[in-house]
Chains A and B, each alone.
Chain A
């Protein structure tokens, strides 16, 4: 390929000026808050005006708070469910759409991707209406499919047991198409010659998939896995709007970030919000490191 970059004569100050805005904003609005958050976590506040030092009490309370445990359980359950359901579905759809004989791929791609465009807030608002018992669209379908008319009164968002399924279903609707795009692009990059060679060798579809396709798309799989996991752990807006600005019956829809918002910002306690934020950050770091280690190292960037 092209030889490595050659370096400027008289490029001089230019690169520094070009990155200056980033560095400046970064220092002020990213670095400073991070440092400050470490300090804030040891205070309780009533808004930004009144600070009161509490030492480790924020963390102590956090770790024993059953609501926080519920938030963690919910968030982890949601993450696992979406990863296990979403990714195979996305990959499956991508495989289907990559079939040579298929026409109208662009149209299908557009259709499957469109739910993602709406954004979590508007999807939440819409599906809150669709999940209405007795009058909502989902129940009409549910009663019809299960052929049990009593099911039309299912209180999806009012019953703690069905809130998480409803949330996962909604999230599937939003994100399957989105992740499908990544897989589609990855599949396009699979070397056709390898496929031909495997066919000649008499390999069946499944074997070909395992030997040729999967290794070729593995970096993208890693990428999608990591981003989906990180995104799921940070879930807030979708359940918040789905449940009408609440955490749902019996906190069935409470996620970690929702907990942060309700227990931190809603009462103006910025200190507690920082403590929760740090706990989340540490948790996410641990999980992402574990993921990377398990999937055999990184080909990032």
Chain B
């Protein structure tokens, strides 16, 4: 049995190396001068910060960083609020049309987003929302996935708790604010991270919608830097690293909730 255990650990270690090596290479590569990026593999003989300074001076990278931050954070705020509210309504109330709403939500899961790309763009054009952040944020302010998640976790809240609140004279919204939300914090944390990640990394829709360079998000900016004629790998790698750090940091902070939230939909079923 010892052999099996050693083999198992061996596999896990190998897997870990495979998982980490690209990131390690990335980090090291950003500290090599542009013309020496490929001269070494896992060492940095003449570390330099030139790539980072180039990144923020030749390209308005800080602007892109701010754009992505603004969009992702605002999306989280909007989606957390509206989805948790709707999830609460669907979890703890019975009202006319509830079945209809649930049915519609189920139906949307089946529809791939790419189907509505073209007509959505056309609609936003008619609303004069092309190339605006409102155009990006408003359609995505509520997330069906989020509503499902919140509903799932809120169903488990004991009704007695809510009744007690009502007896104390709490309004329905007050119930939401004072009773339901605090209890749902783990799920909120998980969903925040998921939404942040999805918005931060999103490419296709912003690419179609945004026409002004100064409004670009990080994925669009990076895709542009993959130019045909001038490949400044050092700077490109630096940009990639800066772009992925925020999500990694956020994940490290919210690990536990994230895993719990992710599996809630799949497992507890």
Whether both chains belong to one complex is answered with yes
A125 partner residues in chain B, CB cutoff 8 A:
222-223, 226, 236, 240
A270 vs B123: C-alpha distance in the bound complex, in angstroms? Answer: 11
Residue B255 interfacial (CB < 8 Å): yes
- Stretch in B4-12, B45-53, B59-67, B181-189 touching the partner: B4-12
Are A274 and B119 within 8 A (Cβ)?
yes
Are B116 and A112 within 8 A (Cβ)?
no
Residue B31 interfacial (CB < 8 Å): no
Residue A165 interfacial (CB < 8 Å): no
Q: What are the 3 A-B residue pairs with the smallest beta carbon separation, nearest first?
A: A119-B201, A14-B172, A185-B263
Residue A127 interfacial (CB < 8 Å): yes
Residue B73 interfacial (CB < 8 Å): no
A122 vs B32: C-alpha distance in the bound complex, in angstroms? Answer: 20
A7 vs B243: C-alpha distance in the bound complex, in angstroms? Answer: 48
Are A21 and B159 within 8 A (Cβ)?
no
Are A18 and B8 within 8 A (Cβ)?
no
Query: Smallest distance from the beta carbon of A195 to chain B beta carbons, Å?
Result: 17
Q: A5-B92, A11-B172, A273-B117 are in contact. Are A36 and B122 (CB under 8 A)?
A: yes
Are A96 and B122 within 8 A (Cβ)?
no
Residue A293 interfacial (CB < 8 Å): no
Query: Smallest distance from the beta carbon of A56 to chain B beta carbons, Å?
Result: 17
- Stretch in A62-70, A78-86, A257-265 touching the partner: A257-265
Residue of B nearest to A224 (CB): B266
CB neighbors of A among B44-85 (8 A): 82-83, 85
Residue A99 interfacial (CB < 8 Å): yes
A110 partner residues in chain B, CB cutoff 8 A:
252, 255
The one of B85, B115, B119 in contact with A281, judged by C-beta atoms closer than 8 angstroms, is B115
A245 vs B204: C-alpha distance in the bound complex, in angstroms? Answer: 12
Binary A-proximity of B133-144 (CB < 8 A = 1, otherwise 0): 000001101100
Residue B3 interfacial (CB < 8 Å): no
Residue of B nearest to A186 (CB): B267
- Stretch in A128-136, A196-204, A207-215 touching the partner: A128-136
Supply 5 A–B pairs (Cβ within 8 Å), ascending by A.
A37-B119, A115-B23, A117-B251, A130-B25, A274-B119
B172 partner residues in chain A, CB cutoff 8 A:
8, 11-12, 14-15, 18
A273 vs B121: C-alpha distance in the bound complex, in angstroms? Answer: 11
CB neighbors of A among B70-129 (8 A): 82-83, 85-86, 88-90, 92-95, 98, 101, 104, 108, 110-123, 125-126
A78 vs B95: C-alpha distance in the bound complex, in angstroms? Answer: 45
- A interface, by DSSP: helix, strand, loop or mixed? helix
A99 partner residues in chain B, CB cutoff 8 A:
8
CB neighbors of B among A263-301 (8 A): 264-265, 270-271, 273-274, 276-278, 280-281, 284-285, 288, 299-301
A12 partner residues in chain B, CB cutoff 8 A:
172
| Max chain B Cβ within 10 angstroms of own Cβ: one of A15, A237, A265 | A15
B259 partner residues in chain A, CB cutoff 8 A:
109, 181, 185
Bin chain A's interface residue count.
Answer: 35 or more
A30 vs B108: C-alpha distance in the bound complex, in angstroms? Answer: 8
A109 vs B252: C-alpha distance in the bound complex, in angstroms? Answer: 12
Are A121 and B201 within 8 A (Cβ)?
yes
A97 vs B88: C-alpha distance in the bound complex, in angstroms? Answer: 36
The one of B82, B93, B163, B222 in contact with A22, judged by C-beta atoms closer than 8 angstroms, is B82
A121 vs B224: C-alpha distance in the bound complex, in angstroms? Answer: 11
Query: Smallest distance from the beta carbon of B208 to chain A beta carbons, Å?
Result: 6
Residue A194 interfacial (CB < 8 Å): no
Are A299 and B269 within 8 A (Cβ)?
yes
Are B240 and A126 within 8 A (Cβ)?
yes
B163 partner residues in chain A, CB cutoff 8 A:
6
A112 partner residues in chain B, CB cutoff 8 A:
15-16, 19
Are B263 and A277 within 8 A (Cβ)?
no
A150 partner residues in chain B, CB cutoff 8 A:
none
A119 partner residues in chain B, CB cutoff 8 A:
197, 200-201, 219, 244, 247
| Max chain B Cβ within 10 angstroms of own Cβ: one of A5, A119, A122 | A122
Residue A137 interfacial (CB < 8 Å): yes
Query: Smallest distance from the beta carbon of B115 to chain A beta carbons, Å?
Result: 4
CB neighbors of B among A1-34 (8 A): 2, 5-12, 14-16, 18-19, 21-23, 25-26, 28-30, 32-34
A37 partner residues in chain B, CB cutoff 8 A:
115-116, 118-119
Query: Smallest distance from the beta carbon of B201 to chain A beta carbons, Å?
Result: 3
Query: Smallest distance from the beta carbon of B144 to chain A beta carbons, Å?
Result: 8
Query: Smallest distance from the beta carbon of A71 to chain B beta carbons, Å?
Result: 12
A128 vs B26: C-alpha distance in the bound complex, in angstroms? Answer: 12
A244 vs B208: C-alpha distance in the bound complex, in angstroms? Answer: 17
Residue of B nearest to A51 (CB): B122
Q: A21-B85, A125-B240, A277-B116 are in contact. Are A117 and B247 (CB under 8 A)?
A: yes
Are A234 and B112 within 8 A (Cβ)?
yes
A5 vs B269: C-alpha distance in the bound complex, in angstroms? Answer: 19
Q: A120-B201, A274-B118 are in contact. Are A32 and B142 (CB under 8 A)?
A: no
Residue A167 interfacial (CB < 8 Å): no
Q: A37-B116, A271-B118 are in contact. Are A185 and B266 (CB under 8 A)?
A: yes
A51 vs B201: C-alpha distance in the bound complex, in angstroms? Answer: 32
Binary B-proximity of A25-54 (CB < 8 A = 1, otherwise 0): 110111011101100100000001000000
Are A19 and B101 within 8 A (Cβ)?
yes
